[in-house]
Amino acid sequence: MLAITVQTNDGVRRSRPGADELAGLVRRIGADDDRFLVVERIPDLPDVYIQVWHADGGDYTLEHRDGSAERHFEVRLGGPEPVAEAMTAWARGASGWGDGLDWKRLDMGQAPEPVPPLELDAAERRELEDRLRLTLACGYVDRAGLAEQAEEFLVSDGRRPLSRPQAEQLADQLWLERVGEQTGWIGETDPERLARAFAELEASGITAREDFTCCRSCGESEIGAAGAPDARGFVYFHSQCTESAAAGRGLSLLYGGFDGSPSTTTAIGQEVVTALAAAGLPTVWNGDPSHVIEIRPLLWRRRLSG
Would you kindly state where each structural domain of the chain is located, as residue ranges? 4-105, 122-182, 190-295
Give the Cα separation of 269 and 253 in Å (integer).
9
Give the Cα separation of 271 and 199 in Å (integer).
13
pLDDT value of position 205: 97
pLDDT value of position 306: 82
Give the Cα separation of 188 and 216 in Å (integer).
29
Whether the CB-CB separation of 244 and 251 falls below 8 Å is answered with yes
Give the Cα separation of 137 and 211 in Å (integer).
13
pLDDT value of position 240: 98
Helices (H), 185-290: 190-203, 216-222, 239-246, 262-278
Query: Phi and psi of 24, rounded to 5°?
Result: -65, -40
| Residue 169 identity (one-letter amino acid) | Q
Confidence of residue 59 (pLDDT cuts 50, 70, 90): very high
Which residues are within 8 A (CB) of 237 and not within 5 positions of it... i.e. 6 or more apart? 210, 211, 212, 245, 251, 252, 253, 254
Q: What is the pLDDT of residues 86-119, one digit of tens each?
A: 999 999 999 999 999 999 999 877 777 899 999 9
Whether the CB-CB separation of 191 and 302 falls below 8 Å is answered with yes
Give the Cα separation of 280 and 276 in Å (integer).
6
**In degrees, to the nearest 5, what angle opens at C-alpha 236 toward C-alphas 260 and 202?**
85
Q: What is the pLDDT of residues 132-170, one digit of tens each?
A: 999 999 999 999 999 999 999 999 998 999 999 999 999
Q: What is the pLDDT of residues 16-48, one digit of tens each?
A: 999 999 999 999 999 999 999 999 999 999 999
| Residue 267 identity (one-letter amino acid) | A
